[in-house]
A and B are shown apart, each in its own frame.
Chain A
Amino acid sequence: KAGVTQTPRYLIKTRGQQVTLSCSPISGHRSVSWYQQTPGQGLQFLFEYFSETQRNKGNFPGRFSGRQFSNSRSEMNVSTLELGDSALYLCASSDRDRSGANEQFFGPGTRLTVL
């Protein structure tokens, strides 16, 4: 099976712009989660989508949003970019079930730089 893929791998934007990142989960996985990784804050949970519905959300401002399509692919959008949004954005997919925590498979990430 192909792993989790994220596009683009690298992105440079300027303050005030918006950006859309894409994630394709492992085939058959219906849960997609997004994380932000920065040197100062570490790895922080953004949100999770399952069957096109947002199931959980972290403590990020409303400028961060996401969606999931019927084929489980997910996008996240950041509007009105700030310098502090520079980070590695990681996507993870899992074969979600209700019996407990599942292994999440991570993509290589998208490195966003805001100038």
Chain B
Amino acid sequence: AQSVTQLDSHVSVSEGTPVLLRCNYSSSYSPSLFWYVQHPNKGLQLLLKYTSAATLVKGINGFEAEFKKSETSFHLTKPSAHMSDAAEYFCVVSDNFGNEKLTFGTGTRLTIIP
């Protein structure tokens, strides 16, 4: 069975400061990992994905995440927060057996303080 744990339900940062959203995963197999973002009243958008290539993954809008197998972590970071980053962020895991089932974390709501 696979699962993800998002360690913070809510994160607040000031505009221009770094963002760190934490995620730990559990998987019996070599997983694929994703970060999705959901803005209010909008659908989910993929930020980035890890599929066993480079461990440091760069995504859209300046976000990146590092896959650390020894720590079973896949934390999302951004050097400088922007007001438009305010949204709900989901860490997601999928197995690699041609299975489209995604297992979502509980989400982290990111608030940006002007």
Contact = CB atoms under 8 A, between A and B. Distances in A.
B102 A45 contact: yes
A42 B96 contact: no
Contacts of B114: none
Contacts of A56: 99-101
Interface string B29-55: 000101010000011111001011000
A63 interface: no
B100 A33 contact: yes
B101 A48 contact: yes
Interface residues of B, number: 25
B103 interface: yes
Given A42-B106, A42-B107, A101-B94, A48 B100 contact: yes
Interface stretch (A14-22, A65-73, A74-82, A91-99): A91-99
A43 B52 CA distance: 25
A102 B96 CA distance: 9
B46 A103 contact: yes
A45 B45 CA distance: 17
A43 B90 contact: yes
Given A42-B106, A42-B107, A90-B43, A104 B101 contact: no
Given A100-B96, A101-B102, 9 more contacts: A4-B43, A42-B104, A42-B105, A42-B107, A43-B104, A55-B99, A56-B99, A90-B44, A101-B94
Interface of A: 4, 31, 33, 35, 42-45, 48, 50, 55-56, 58, 90, 92, 94, 96-109
26 contacts: A33-B102, A35-B102, A35-B104, A42-B106, A43-B104, A43-B107, A45-B101, A48-B100, A55-B99, A56-B99, A56-B101, A97-B98, A98-B98, A100-B96, A101-B49, A101-B94, A101-B96, A101-B102, A103-B34, A103-B46, A103-B49, A104-B46, A104-B100, A104-B102, A106-B43, A108-B42
